[in-house]
Amino acid sequence: MGKERRKQGHLERRKRVVKKRKITLEELKAFVEAHPDTFLREIVAHFDCVVPSVWAALKQIHVTLKNDD
């Protein structure tokens, strides 16, 4: 990468491309707060997406597994 940038004559970093999310984190958080005991597959069905994307979004909003007290 460094050699390519030197040949081009600039060393600035490129801006990241941020994709629009299918699930907004606010909607997901509201849904989880309203339905705290739903399974991951039920959340997937509600938002019409795939399990890894819901899992990653839940990880971003710091929602973890339920504790058995």
Kind and range of the H or E run holding 52: helix 51-60
Q: Is 18 a residue whose pLDDT tops 90?
A: no
Q: Is 26 a residue whose pLDDT tops 70?
A: yes
Q: How deeply is 65 buried, as exposed, middle or buried, from its count of CB atoms within 10 A (0-12, 13-18, 19+)?
A: exposed
Average pLDDT, the chain: 83
For residue range 4-14, what is the model confidence (pLDDT) as tens digits? Answer: 766 777 667 77
Q: Is 68 a residue whose pLDDT tops 60?
A: no
CA distance 21 to 40: 18
**Residue-range domain boundaries for the chain:** 25-69
Q: Is 3 a residue whose pLDDT tops 90?
A: no
Q: Rg of the chain's alpha carbons, rounded to an integer?
A: 19
